[in-house]
Chain A
Amino acid sequence: MSENVDTTQAPRKIGPPISRVSRLLESKQLGWVALAGALLAPFVTATPYALNVMTTAAIFVMLASGLNIVVGYCGLLDLGYVAFMAVGAYTAGILSKSFQLPLIFTIPAVLVLTVLAGLIIGGPTLRLRSDYLAIVTLGFGEITRITANNLTVTGGPSGIFGIPGLLKIGSVDVEDPAVLYYVTVLVVAVFVLASARLGKSRLGRAWRFVREDEDAAEAMGIHTYKVKLLAYIFGAIWGGLGGVLFAAHLSAVSPQSFIFLQSALVLMAVVLGGMGNMRGVVIGALVISLVPELLRDLGAHRYLFFGLLLVVVMVFRPQGLWPSRGYEPERPAGGTGDGEPGGGQSR
């Protein structure tokens, strides 16, 4: 039989991980190691500045893991993802401030409104494909920001200030930076895990089928529109809850936080990390949120260096820092073997 391997595509590593390093990188325990690292980080440095940066980074991981569902798994290029974060942050901010409630009690309302936002934005736009979808989502992102900028209930250009903290139990106040950091890390860890698990399920596979070939997916009985809408809704929930954490972190929400650049940065985290691979996306989000801070010594030039770094990475690793492997274990020897008689005949 001839070997008609398609060589026009970038060669990929296939087969089981061979080296010890890649075995370690693919191991299931790695998530726990990363969580432990995040929990121990404040013991290394716990200045208010460091805690601020780390909390921001954790929220950014949350956003990237949400956008990974939409862009990475389902292949829907969304350039206005920050709209969902805005909906979450404003809903939480407005409700908690007007009723003087801790932010945590606004979560049901946030969920309802972000899902609604997902349906409103996704409903009409998901009939479009690729480039058209990107442009329309870009528009929706800007519409959301400009609406927030002009409404009185959102506080106009100056936004909302003095938002109550996430929760206060006895003497433990979640407004305390260190406590807030730990709460954020734990919440984000749960959602990163959930996003990764979704990716390896029936629904997650359906998303990938849609990304790879919509018509073939449809022929297999996958209702592509519903599946894409579900990706949007899950992305919206992740974004909205990221917005709640954001409101809790800054205790203020203003339209300047939801500019297009923010959407672009989250998208960059997903692309840089490796679309569709949750571990890569977490790394990408950490790089995008932490490297500009590490480059702070360079002063005004830091974004120039940051941009150069990104270009270099994309030139040498166009598939992202850590793409998904496209590999799964073979059937163990002497497997089911219940094929029909003659089913396993030799060639």
Chain B
Amino acid sequence: MTAILEVKDLQVAFGGVKAVDGLTFSAHEREIIAVIGPNGAGKTSAFNCITGFYKPTSGSVLINGVDTTGKRPADIAAAGVSRTFQNLRLFPDLTVLDNVRAGMHLYGGQNWADAIFHTPRFRRSEAMYTEQAHHWLDFVGFQGARGVPVRNLSYGQQKRVEIARALARKAVLLLLDEPAAGLNYSEKQQLLELCRRIRDLGTAIVLIEHDMGLVMELSERIVVMNFGREIAAGAPAEVKANPAVIEAYLGKDDEAVATNGDA
């Protein structure tokens, strides 16, 4: 089985700062991978490389076996990648439905001439857009008005809309950048359950998250980053016990410095 996502020795440098320094990991179908690490570890930079917003200095990214390294974000999205952003990046003045429709841009089935002449194909396509938008909003459990601008929604609702938009892309790989940030306990439980339902659609999920409880419960494998480098990878239990991880999160104590000088 080929991996949906394969990241090989990925490096990004901004001037002299190596934000990502040799990251290697892969994700397979129906797999949930978590990328964790302290702030500034290069998690979001790695995401931005995979999705084309940053050009990697070296290394490669393969989506379904196709090399997408350094391509435009739109081309990478077309190759089957969808994402959410760390800080919400919705289209604030557009309606909830329109925001979700954005995810369906690549399979619209209409062109500008259809739009001008309102051909039957245009009507079918618009009906499909609306129906699918409702479907994905239902899928993420969005409740509330859907014909109003998203800026009028609460933060939690906006997070759901962003996930619905990313799902509407129908991508094979979904990247979630801190999906649980700012959510309360019950909302986190719903997110957990939602991620599992997304996985059951056959999608691979890679998520960045700081909430350890969520990460340990949800993910099959965890990649731990610090200072741009991968310091550990494996099943939640393994990672939890790894001294390098404990050190990255809690700092070295005197004993650790003596026995484990270079992590």
Give chain A's interface residues, CB within 8 Å of chain B: 1-6, 9, 12, 14-16, 194, 197-198, 200-206, 208-209, 212-213, 215-224, 230, 234, 326-331, 335-340, 342-347
Contacts and interface: CB of A to CB of B under 8 A. Distances in A.
Contact of A201 (B93, B122, B154): B122
Given A213-B91, A215-B53, A202 B115 contact: yes
B197 A216 contact: no
B11 to A, nearest CB: 22
Interface string B59-91: 000000000000011110110001101000111
Given A197-B118, A212-B94, A220-B105, A6 B197 contact: no
Given A4-B155, A12-B149, A215-B73, A221 B138 contact: no
Nearest to B110: A202
B190 interface: yes
A345 B187 CA distance: 12
Interface stretch (B13-21, B139-147, B207-215): B139-147
A1 B154 contact: yes
B149 A205 contact: no
B174 to A, nearest CB: 12
A4 B159 CA distance: 12
Contacts of A208: 91, 94, 98
B47 to A, nearest CB: 11
B90 A336 contact: no
A198 B187 CA distance: 39
Contacts of B122: 201
B186 to A, nearest CB: 7
Interface residues of B, number: 65
A221 B93 CA distance: 20
Q: How would you classify the secondary structure of chain A's contact residues: helix, strand, loop or mixed?
A: loop
B105 A206 contact: yes
Given A218-B53, A326-B93, A343-B139, 12 more contacts: A1-B156, A5-B154, A201-B110, A202-B105, A216-B91, A218-B74, A220-B106, A221-B169, A326-B149, A327-B149, A336-B138, A339-B138
B152 A344 contact: no
Given A212-B93, A217-B102, A339 B135 contact: yes
A9 B153 CA distance: 13
B97 interface: yes
30 contacts: A2-B154, A4-B155, A5-B153, A9-B151, A15-B145, A194-B116, A198-B112, A198-B115, A203-B111, A203-B112, A205-B101, A205-B102, A206-B105, A208-B94, A208-B98, A209-B94, A215-B89, A216-B90, A216-B91, A219-B83, A221-B78, A223-B74, A326-B94, A328-B97, A339-B138, A342-B193, A342-B197, A346-B143, A347-B186, A347-B190
B108 interface: yes
A121 to B, nearest CB: 20
Contacts of A230: 112
